[in-house]
């Protein structure tokens, strides 16, 4: 039996019908494999996000592993109470910088006072309410909250316009000379609603794929379109089909 098609893949199919440029990315990257880690709590996701800030993924995973082994030989997430009670020097010895230790301890304190919502509470909040609540947490800004919305909660309509990869992917796909300004991209991105998380995923993956493939199908498509448009007697409809 074939696996059911995810909501994100259905969103990709719809975006491909709506937007010729995004269709290039979708065909180049392939099926959307975005799979949110829904089993991870908001509190745990924020700890992971802080550990990964400005650190290579493998290094961050190693540091997290050492931190988790402070609480169990096999490793597990500490409860907010346990993390709050852990001496800073103990966490620093696991490889965390002082700023990350302070940020993680603030996450624990905010989880204890309810600012960082639990699974049940966060499910009742809309995207902007979640961002506003998490923005006050040390080491957590709008971008981190948006990553939680997409990769933990699986919210379908998030466009992180401050993210470099999203902006760079848009620049490449749409043939822009400069990176789009966040506010401009937010306005432009309204046309992808309610599937902006899927659009964002394809911008990220498009940039990743270009690094390995060494060719830019969006640029090739624009060249073909200009070539057709330049032919004697070519109609706009013919050029648009390319």
CATH 1.10.1670.40 in the chain: give the residue spans.
7-35+158-218
For residue 232, the model assigns a pLDDT of 60
Q: What backbone phi and psi angles, to 5 degrees, belong to 115?
A: -65, -45
Mean pLDDT across the chain: 90
Identify the active-site residue in 106, 157, 163, 216: 163
Please provide the size of the chain in residues. 242
CATH 1.10.340.30 in the chain: give the residue spans.
42-151
CB burial of 208-229 (b: ≥16 within 10 Å; e: otherwise) equals ebbeeeeebbbeebbeebeeee
| Whether the predicted pLDDT of 91 surpasses 50 | yes
Say whether domain 42-151 belongs to CATH 3.20.20.80. no
For residue 2, the model assigns a pLDDT of 46
- The confidence band for 213, taking pLDDT boundaries of 50, 70 and 90, is confident
The rounded percent of the chain whose pLDDT value lies above 70 is: 87
- The confidence band for 55, taking pLDDT boundaries of 50, 70 and 90, is confident
Q: Please give the model's pTM, rounded to 2 decimal places.
A: 0.85
Q: How far apart, in Å, are the Cα atoms of 227 and each of 4, 144, 177, 234, 239?
A: 41, 43, 20, 10, 8
Concerning whether 135 is annotated as a catalytic residue, the answer is no
- The confidence band for 220, taking pLDDT boundaries of 50, 70 and 90, is low
Q: What is the CATH number of domain 7-35+158-218?
A: 1.10.1670.40
Q: What average pLDDT does the segment 86-108 reach? A: 97
């Amino acid at each position: 039996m074939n696996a059911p098609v995810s909501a994100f893949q259905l969103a990709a199919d719809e975006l491909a019908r709506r937007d010729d440029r995004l269709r290039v990315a979708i065909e180049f990257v392939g099926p959307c494999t975005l799979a949110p880690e829904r089993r991870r709590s908001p509190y745990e996701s924020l700890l992971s996000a802080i550990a990964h800030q400005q650190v290579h993924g493998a290094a961050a995973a190693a540091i997290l592993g050492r931190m988790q082994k402070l609480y169990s030989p096999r490793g597990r997430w500490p409860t907010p109470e346990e993390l709050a009670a852990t001496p800073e020097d103990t966490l620093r010895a696991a490889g965390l910088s002082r700023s990350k230790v302070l940020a993680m301890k603030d996450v624990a304190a905010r989880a204890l006072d309810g600012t960082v919502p639990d699974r049940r509470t966060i499910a009742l909040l809309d995207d902007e309410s979640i961002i506003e609540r998490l923005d006050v947490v040390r080491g957590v800004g709008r971008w981190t909250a948006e990553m939680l919305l997409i990769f933990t909660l699986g919210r379908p309509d998030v466009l992180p316009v401050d993210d470099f990869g999203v902006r760079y992917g848009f620049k490449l796909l749409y043939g822009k000379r400069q990176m789009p300004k966040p506010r401009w991209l937010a306005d432009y991105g309204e046309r992808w609603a309610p599937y902006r998380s899927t659009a964002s995923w394809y911008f990220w993956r498009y940039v990743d794929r270009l690094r390995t493939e060494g060719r830019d199908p969006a640029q090739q498509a624009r060249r073909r379109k200009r070539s057709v448009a330049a032919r004697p007697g070519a109609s706009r409809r013919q050029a648009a089909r390319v």
